[in-house]
Amino acid sequence: MIEIGGVQYSLDDPLTLAALGGGAVILLMLLLLVLAVRAAGRAARASAPVLQHVSHLSHRVQGLSEGQERLAGGLHHVTEAQASSQTAMLELMERRLAEVQERMGESLHGSARRTARSLGELQERLQAIDKAQANITKLSGDVLSLQDILSNKQTRGAFGEIQLREIVSKALPSDAYALQATLSNGRRADCLIHMPQPPGPIVVDAKFPLEGYEALMQAEGKEMRARAAQAFRLSVRKHIRDIAARYIIEGETAEGALMFLPSEAVYAELHARFPEVVREGFEARVWIVSPTTCMATLNTLRAVLKDARMKEQAGAIRRELALLYGDVERLTGRVANLDRHFGQASRDIEEIKISADKAGRRAHRLDQFDFEEVETPNMPVLRLGDPAE
């Protein structure tokens, strides 16, 4: 479609082409060429900035290529440095790991030794604990047996008598006491100590008021404790009265007797909370003793027995001393005679030594053929070269 003189003509229309003719066609071709040149000029002017921008981009791409080459070189150096650093780090880590393994081995070995030693000590302690457990089990059985013994009144009495016998046998000589001695009133004393007059034989009787003591220890509440204390007080008072009535006999035994309590706890409770009962015992001349105080009392009685026996044996001792004095006098005379004999023998030995020395010297001269110095009494001295008579 073209416009000429304000009128638009279509090139596809045959009539238009025919009207225009050949000149018009040429003109049209020229017009198209001019239009094409103008369009090319405009396109050249429009593409100049683009070309300039493309050139700038080309320079930048070239700079990027050079930077990339430098970056590649730097990366190569960094890679080499990193590789060497990694190699050194691996070597250092290997050395450190070897040292750690060695130290760990030594530590484990030492820990194993210490563990073995600890296990050995633990085994020894377990064995000691087993032995202690066995002893505890045995002791528990003994305690149960002791409880069974103390729960029965007769066996409890036998227990006190056995303990009294052990103490008396350790404190006194065998001939100074008698166990289960029968008195003139038919009563049998647990122990009768043969003391001289005065004071005379002393009776020791074992009593064990365990029921009253256990009731007192187990009582709860003020009223129950008061009743238990009264029962315990009455029990001890009864024992004191029985001993005073049965074992203190005028003209046969001493004016007092001993009541043996085989329990330190009962003895301490009695003296701590019932001092009036102890005083009643003093008034009845019945002295209450425990295993400890009984041993001290018996040691005192032993000293008294020893003094009495020394007094009884004073005459025999004087006779023995007189005989000893005569023996010493005879021994003194015999020692003097022996000393005189030894003095004479000593003088004889000295003279024998003198004669032996002279004989030795003469024998030595004879051995050396030294006859000139040999002098024999009442005999002429023989000299070498003289004619024999």
pLDDT at 2: 53
Neighbours of 155 (CB within 10 A): 12
Give the model confidence (pLDDT) of 104-122 as tens digits: 888 888 878 888 888 888 8
Pairing relation of β-strands 177-182 and 286-289? unpaired
- Note the residue count of the chain: 389
SS3 content of the chain, % helix, strand, coil (to 5): 75, 10, 15
pLDDT at 33: 77
Element (H, E) at 93: helix 14-151
The rounded average pLDDT for each run of 10 residues, N- to C-terminus, in the chain (389 residues) is 55 54 64 76 72 76 79 80 83 86 82 83 84 72 47 57 85 86 86 84 84 79 86 88 88 88 85 88 89 87 82 75 84 84 84 83 73 51 42
CA-to-CA distance for 190 and 168, rounded, in angstroms? 11
CA-to-CA distance for 31 and 39, rounded, in angstroms? 12
Contact 206, 163 (CB under 8 A): yes
Give the model confidence (pLDDT) of 365-376 as tens digits: 776 766 555 455
Pairing relation of β-strands 257-260 and 202-206? parallel
pLDDT at 146: 45
